[in-house]
Amino acid sequence: MALKEVASQVERKIEAELPRGVLLRPERFLAGISSNHETARMVIRKTARMAAQRHLINNLKLATELGAEVILIKHSNAAKGMNEVAEEMAITTLCIGKPHLNLFNVI
């Protein structure tokens, strides 16, 4: 099965499990820039930050809509912080993602 098909199936399943009336729609941003190089760069960077924040907010909202308890922790070491919370709450399974880095991003 192709990755695109799997993504579509997961999206349909999530939408089916959402409470009635809750719609997920992708956010779309427009950066209106002028010919001023410095101002244009600032606007583009601000728009990119807003897009990233919007994704985070939407993901937290989706988690709560699906019945999750969202816990915000502050720790100097993310892995240790998650481990401490998992132990405190007797979590049996921890699902995490990995960064999408390639050699060019690292360099």
Choose from 28-32, 48-52, 73-77 the range with maximum mean pLDDT: 73-77
* Percent of residues in the chain assigned helix, strand, coil, to nearest 5: 55, 0, 45
Q: What is the mean pLDDT of the chain?
A: 77
Q: Which helix (H) or strand (E) holds 69?
A: none
What letter would DSSP give residue 90?
T
Percent of the chain with pLDDT over 90: 3
Predicted confidence (pLDDT) at residue 88 exceeds the cutoff of 70: yes
Contact 30, 44 (CB under 8 A): no
Nearest to 70 by CA among 46, 52, 89: 89
